[in-house]
Amino acid sequence: MNFATDSTAALLQFFTKGGVFMVFLAVCSVVGVAVILLRMLGLRRDLAVPPILRSEIERLKVDGEDPVVRLSAFLLADRSPLGRLIKVVLRHMNADRSENQEAVQVAARTEMVKLEQGLFILEILVGITPLLGLLGAVSGLVKVFAAFGDAGAQGDTHIIASGISEALSTTVVGLAIAIPCLIAYSVFVRKLETIAAEMEALISLLLSKCYQHRAQAAAKSTASRVQS
């Protein structure tokens, strides 16, 4: 109990020594943690690319059941980015393949913007927190040099030590916030690239199978009319 109390008191004293800039850094840390947790939940691969949709696209057969009919049953309650892109493909099956691809590309850009929500905040925190720490450091050094310049305070080591402490504490906290935010941002960007590449491959495969199926169906229909 005493250890916990002492640790809390030491932590509060550390932040108090940082001055007003420590308040801004504390706000940045809370925002950073919130964004990282939300993006960890939102950028899960199985949510963006549900395994059931991925397996159904891969199992589709060109000479089998109509892909539009088969996939529509799986899309009724699906709200994933991949599911929304598949719906765009199925809605534009009456158009040419090039027109369908253009519609999918527009929808894909919208989906990527949704997935990227919040990442710009991490990017801002990576840039601003070291600067806030540096600003706090400069403020602490100003106090130190002001104490040296004051003839009456030359012997007051408390003011000098307080200024140096403020300079070091804000710098440490600023870097301690920026480094995890930078790591998280890099991981999330890489994960987004992986998700985008997988969705692109699956949609390309789906388009190929759908239009091959349509071509075969048209060929069979033409052949049956000729025979009749």
Residue by residue, pLDDT tens for the chain (228 residues) are 455 565 566 556 666 666 778 888 989 999 999 999 999 988 888 888 888 888 888 887 777 677 777 788 778 778 889 999 989 998 888 888 889 899 999 999 999 999 998 899 999 999 999 999 888 888 777 777 776 666 455 556 666 666 676 677 888 889 999 999 999 999 999 999 999 999 999 999 888 888 887 777 777 766 666 665
Asked if residue 144 belongs to a domain, the reply is yes
Asked if residue 4 belongs to a domain, the reply is no
- The domain tally of the chain equals 1
Which residues lie closer than 8 Å to 156 by C-beta, 6 or more apart?
147
Dist. CA 75–CA 70, nearest whole Å: 10
**pLDDT confidence of residue 182:** 95
Asked if residue 221 belongs to a domain, the reply is no
Closest CA relative to residue 57, chosen from 45, 68, 43:
68
Which residues lie closer than 8 Å to 192 by C-beta, 6 or more apart?
43, 112, 115, 116, 119
Asked if residue 220 belongs to a domain, the reply is no
Asked if residue 113 belongs to a domain, the reply is yes
Q: Where are the alpha helices (DSSP H) in the chain?
A: 2-17, 21-42, 45-48, 51-59, 67-72, 81-91, 97-115, 119-149, 157-227
**DSSP classification of residue 80:** S
**pLDDT confidence of residue 155:** 52
**Domain residue limits at 126:** 32-215
